[in-house]
Structure 1
């Protein structure tokens, strides 16, 4: 699977071009499924989900002009037959995974069976904030909100680095570079702090930063 891990969606031409290149065809010829499950574990989640679907969230994903767009609600999947949703996921060109609470999103990716399916997919996985963070081995205590039944901060380990999104965001005064450095010091492996103009592209394990903003890589 190919990953385009963003802080705030397809915010600039560089990230847009990276997405098209990863798809291997125009967006207008590509089918997409979007996932907003992580939003329901934060205040106002239902409203955030609607703004994401309708292209009013200032985090461009759904409004890019896809050939088709569907909604995959992870909390519903354990209660329905797999044949009702797995063929659709296997055939889609791209998964658009919104943010919210990363551990809640991770929990339902596992409970739904999607986490097991992801490594075998040919689709491009496009994450936004928590939708990106969930691919890491863990998220760090700084980002723990909703707590899974097993505790901890572990996520899916489909990439080998962690992410600190929304670096220096004007509406998130705690997301400073100093805070990112403290966060990174407690992480076990490589970690990146990225602002909303930055994404991380991962193809077959090769990592490339795509940015028109600022970012920093931390290593131990």
Structure 2
């Protein structure tokens, strides 16, 4: 699986180019499944926001990029559906568009649904995460980012070996501050990427690259 881990979606030309490079074809020729599941785990997300994500009418560019087709894959429904029915949907999609919300809730349902088990076999599929949709692939999200009351801890899926703090947008912009990001990273034993909304991270065959028209840094980097 190829990863594009974003803070706020495909917000600039550099991230857009990275996405098309990962796809290996134009967006207009690519089929997408959007996964809104993380939104239901966060108390600040309401049904209107979920519809905005799915319909591509939110302010975070992802589902509205001109895909050949977009379907909805709701992970909480998958345990009640025959696996032989939904696995082909995932395998046939070029890209998974994964909403933000609560990363621990998303991680829980990725495991419960069987999607987490399937991910290593999706060699040509691109996972595009938005905020918590990116953080769910890390080992831990940090206590500060756990909003789901039933979460047992801050552990996520551990697909990558680094942590991620999104929305570190600086003074005068909505999001997190660098001071908050530094406190968050200090409690984690992994390298921690701190990115703003104009930055994304690609991961292909274990190679990590930063794509940015904004600001980013790495904390807890090995010496």
SS at structure 2 position matched to 1:64: coil
Partner of 1:199: 200
- Which ranges of structure 2 fall in alignment gaps of 5 or more residues? none
CA distance in 1, matches of 2:127, 2:159: 11
Partner of 1:87: 88
Partner of 2:8: 8
Alignment of 1:128-167 (within 5 A): 128-148=130-150, 151-167=152-168
Partner of 1:29: 29
Query: 1:45: how far off?
Result: 2.9
Q: Which range moves more in the overlay, 112-121 or 162-171?
A: 162-171
Q: 8 Å contact 1:103–1:148 — kept in the other structure?
A: no
CA distance in 2, matches of 1:204, 1:34: 23
Q: Deviations over 1:122-178 (max 9, x none)?
A: 2000000000000000111111111446x1111101011000001126233xx1001
Q: 8 Å contact 2:45–2:101 — kept in the other structure?
A: no
What count of residue pairs does the alignment treat as equivalent?
217
Query: 1:23: how far off?
Result: 0.3
Partner of 2:216: 215
Alignment of 1:43-62 (within 5 A): 43-62=44-63
CA distance in 1, matches of 2:162, 2:22: 20
- In structure 2, do the counterparts of structure 1 residues 7 and 135 end up closer, same or farther at CA, with 3 Å as the change threshold? same
Partner of 1:110: 111
Mapped pair 1:63 → 2:32: no
Partner of 2:174: 171
- TM-score normalized by the length of structure 1: 0.95
CA distance in 1, matches of 2:8, 2:154: 22
Q: Deviations over 1:71-105 (max 9, x none)?
A: 00000000110111101101110000010011111
CA distance in 2, matches of 1:85, 1:156: 21
Query: 1:44: how far off?
Result: 3.4
SS at structure 2 position matched to 1:213: coil
Query: 1:119: how far off?
Result: 1.2
